[in-house]
Amino acid sequence: MHDPDAPARALARLYDLDLLDDPGDLDLYLALAGRVGGPILELATGSGRLAVPLAEAGYDVTGVDLDPAMLDRARAAADERGRRIARRIRWVEADLRGLTLLDAGSYRLAFIGLNSLFLLRDRSEQAAAVATLARHVTDGGLVVVDAWLPDGEDLGRFDGRLMLEWVRVDPETGHHVTKTGAALHDHATGVVRLTTLFDEGRPGDAPVRWIREDRLRLIGTAELRGMAAEAGLVVETLAGGYDLEPLTPLSDRAVLVARKP
């Protein structure tokens, strides 16, 4: 029987399989929360990869996402850690664009992690997302944005060629999964169109293919600084990685940490 939600559910599961390569960003959020305390707001929280361990560390967390399949996984991951932890997290199914929660202005830390800002269409939507983070923190609260900075070599590969990313066994299904993808970068707009193919099945059986299409609007460091300033934030650090190391021309990501004065 046709299940219209099956692709979204599969892609949410495969997102977690993809993220078995730990980006290494959790310690940053734990350290910042250790500094300013909770509650914490995460926009585009996905499957709760960061929100759940932050709650496990004792913080009250609100995770916002518009994809119910991702939130279902987030909820399940929190429930697995036990009621005490699950009760510290509020999952909000909503579009972050234009979002104002009832408790806006009360968060000590608000962030959008792991390139999720790129999923917003253009500069104005991305700036609005930074303003949303700013609107939700208290005076003295921190806002964090984490954005990948691809170099010329990365972008050179984004010419539509198909690239094998990995072959893994999904521990949840026992299926072999092959991830391939092709990206196309438009220099004029800074937009990368990403097509990802996940082929999964038991060895020897015909695989099932799940397709994911993403549109990423890349962002530069000057733009990120500008968005923080427009949102009334004071930039504490624009770092080159999760250890808040200095940003250099070789940095492959920008981590903005800004304070609401």
Ligand X SMILES: C[S@@+](CC[C@H](N)C(=O)[O-])C[C@H]1O[C@@H](n2cnc3c(N)ncnc32)[C@H](O)[C@@H]1O
244 close to 255: Cβ distance less than 8 angstroms: yes
* β-pair type (40-43, 107-112): parallel
Question: 49, 88, 168, 179: which one contacts ligand X (CB under 6 A)?
Answer: 49
Q: Does 39 bind ligand X (CB under 6 A)?
A: no
**Contact flags string 55-94 toward ligand X, x per CB under 6 A:** ---------xxxx--x------------------------
Quick one: which segment of 42-50, 78-86, 132-140, 225-233 binds ligand X (CB under 6 A)? 42-50
Quick one: 96 or 247, whose CB is closer to ligand X?
Answer: 96
The secondary structure of residue 50, as a DSSP letter, is: T
Quick one: 37 or 68, whose CB is closer to ligand X?
Answer: 68
Quick one: 212 or 225, whose CB is closer to ligand X?
Answer: 212
Tell me the β-bridge partners of 239. 246, 255
User: Minimum distance between the CB of residue 44 and ligand X, rounded to whole angstroms?
Assistant: 3
The secondary structure of residue 245, as a DSSP letter, is: P
Question: 114, 147, 219, 239: which one contacts ligand X (CB under 6 A)?
Answer: 114
Nearest by Cα to 62 from 14, 100, 8: 100
Question: 22, 95, 153, 213: which one contacts ligand X (CB under 6 A)?
Answer: 95
Quick one: which segment of 80-88, 110-118, 169-177, 202-210 binds ligand X (CB under 6 A)? 110-118
Quick one: 101 or 119, whose CB is closer to ligand X?
Answer: 119
Q: Does 45 bind ligand X (CB under 6 A)?
A: yes
Q: Does 44 bind ligand X (CB under 6 A)?
A: yes
Q: Each residue of 132-149: b (16+ CB within 10 Å) or e?
A: bbbbbbbeebbbbbbbbb
Quick one: 62 or 116, whose CB is closer to ligand X?
Answer: 116
Q: Does 36 bind ligand X (CB under 6 A)?
A: no
How far apart, in whole angstroms, are the C-alpha atoms of residue 196 and residue 103? 37
Question: 62, 116, 126, 132: which one contacts ligand X (CB under 6 A)?
Answer: 116
How far apart, in whole angstroms, are the C-alpha atoms of residue 144 and residue 231? 13
CB neighbour class for 235 (10 Å; exposed up to 12, middle 13-18, buried from 19) = middle
Long-range contacts of 246-252 (CB under 8 A, 24+ apart): 247/221, 250/151, 251/149, 252/148, 252/149, 252/150, 252/151
Question: 119, 191, 197, 235: which one contacts ligand X (CB under 6 A)?
Answer: 119
CB neighbour class for 52 (10 Å; exposed up to 12, middle 13-18, buried from 19) = buried
Give the interface with ligand X as residue ranges (CB under 6 A).
Answer: 19, 44-46, 49-50, 64-67, 70, 95-97, 113-114, 116, 119
